[in-house]
Amino acid sequence: MEQHLPLAEPYRIKVVEPIRMTSREEREMLIRQAGYNPFLLPSEAVYIDLLTDSGTSAMSDRQWAGMMVGDEAYAGSRNFYHLQAVVEELMGFKYVIPTHQGRAAENILFTVMLHEGNVVPNNMHFDTTKAHVLHKHGRPVDLVIDAAYEPGLPLPFKGNMNPAKLEALIAQVGRENIPIVMLTLTCNSGGGQPVSMANIREVREVCRRYGLPLFLDACRFAENAYFIKQREEGYRDKTVREIVKEIFSYADGCTMSAKKDALVNIGGFLALRDQDLYQKCSVWAVLFEGFPTYGGLAGRDMEAMARGLTEVVDEAYLASRIGQVRYLAEQLTAAGIPIVQPPGGHAVYLDAGAFLPHIPRDQFPAWALTVALYLEGGVRAVEIGTVLAGRNPETGAHDYPRLDLVRLAIPRRVYTDRHMDVVARAVINIYSRRDQIRGLCFTYEAPVLRHFTARFKPVDAA
């Protein structure tokens, strides 16, 4: 019987960046020198870098060509007007403030909207969003559906907010203490899980009833839209652009990290519907970022961003992007490896607790798995587990998270499916002799954000 042609990358490669595979002996030395902390490895010691999908995209020839037509005027750069036109066409927001990255847009928005003691509901706050709410003395509250915390439960929209929880929160703290409701698309902290259109509509309806503005943390809006097309009743025949337009039609504005779904290495923006709010925000944009038509970016950066936003909604691109993440996940699942199901839009998460049940949590099984992955294949992944979670400030004990995970974040358009084969094989090899993997203990631990600088040794080492 004839078979479908395989889905290959919808681009050909015009520029290459050589990467080098090290020997196992070299990697043993390199990771020891790095204190068994992959963050402390030089990038050149890494063969396949899955630390993050943020700012790691490969730009297209059109984006690079756009870098040469940067208009570096202080005010009114033509690239700003291009960016503004693309955002308005795609998302329907008239007002755009470029920022140097996503968190800068959060800083401006929360400076204007948040007052001390305010509560901010979100399906799940991303770290920087949470930190900015706290910085303004607000209280971030996560209202994602309970299923988001069940790694084995393969539901289509595990990023959804529970609207009943939102209503209950409003009743509890009072609508006057909630300046803004947010939805994060896709839900990064929940594993890149999408939010359904029905859920966005439901949340919008609650907001409308109480007169609350709805903002989107829109970093992965195109990936979310593609999942809606694939998984939600009634959207199969709509284009991704139509779906994107509908998503944003329910929102009053968004914060955006262009390092994700704008396919650039740096940049972000705040987009708004309301002129009044825009004017308030631009005052702070000048203070924090720069004049509102460049906001911490060069003209050429805004051009690359405008072009990237156009490319990211291309359905062949999205099929390949989401397909590559799924391709890796399917190989791992077929080999019986415990991962968070279903895989998200930008990453596969290994369930290290289930992978290495013989390593006690205070010997950091997920961290030990990142070290094993580097030793096996020169692959760099990131621990989302006990080391990242830190200590309880009151008791000083480890603040154990619900799960010890390892995130394999896939950069956009950077690696081929063949690289994914290498990653899958490395994980499968480790799994076949997982009982030999040992835990780790600290030799240095910083008081805050310990994962970035910590140093370890294997527990059985002298």
Ligand X SMILES: *Cc1c(COP(=O)(O)O)cnc(C)c1O
Q: Which residues contact 114 (CB under 8 A, 6 or more apart)?
A: 120, 133, 136, 138, 179, 180
Selected from 70, 102, 343, 377, the binder of ligand X by CB under 6 A is 102
Which range, of 107-115, 125-133, 139-147, 415-423, touches ligand X by CB under 6 A?
125-133
Selected from 49, 202, 217, 223, the binder of ligand X by CB under 6 A is 217
In the chain, the amino acid numbered 12 is R
d(CA 11, CA 379): 24
What minimum distance in Å lies between the beta carbon of 304 and ligand X?
15
Binding mask 255-284 for ligand X (x = CB under 6 A): --x-xx-------x----------------
Which range, of 64-72, 123-131, 195-203, 437-445, touches ligand X by CB under 6 A?
123-131
Q: Is 202 in the site for ligand X (CB under 6 A)?
A: no
Q: Is 324 in the site for ligand X (CB under 6 A)?
A: no
Nearest to 59 by CA among 236, 257, 264, 345: 264
Structural Rg of the chain based on CA atoms: 22
d(CA 315, CA 13): 19
Q: Is 101 in the site for ligand X (CB under 6 A)?
A: yes
For residues 202 and 223, which CB has a smaller minimum distance to ligand X in the complex? 223
Nearest to 155 by CA among 343, 355, 389, 362: 343
Q: Which long-range contacts (CB under 8 A, 24 or more apart) does 427-431 make?
A: 427/332, 427/335, 427/337, 427/350, 427/373, 428/331, 428/332, 428/335, 428/337, 429/376, 430/369, 430/372, 430/373, 430/376, 431/335, 431/336, 431/337, 431/355
Q: Is 57 in the site for ligand X (CB under 6 A)?
A: no
Q: Is 326 in the site for ligand X (CB under 6 A)?
A: no
Selected from 95, 126, 226, 349, the binder of ligand X by CB under 6 A is 126
Selected from 56, 111, 129, 310, the binder of ligand X by CB under 6 A is 129
Q: Are 70 and 299 in contact (CB under 8 A)?
A: yes
Q: Is 148 in the site for ligand X (CB under 6 A)?
A: no
Q: Which residue of this chain has its Cβ atom nearest to ligand X in the complex?
A: 102
Selected from 144, 219, 337, 366, the binder of ligand X by CB under 6 A is 219
Helix, coil or strand: residue 445:
coil
Q: How many residues bind ligand X (CB under 6 A)?
A: 15
d(CA 213, CA 277): 11
According to DSSP, residue 11 is labeled S
Selected from 84, 118, 122, 188, the binder of ligand X by CB under 6 A is 188
Residues of this chain that interact with ligand X (CB under 6 A) are: 54, 101-103, 126, 128-129, 184, 188, 217, 219, 257, 259-260, 268
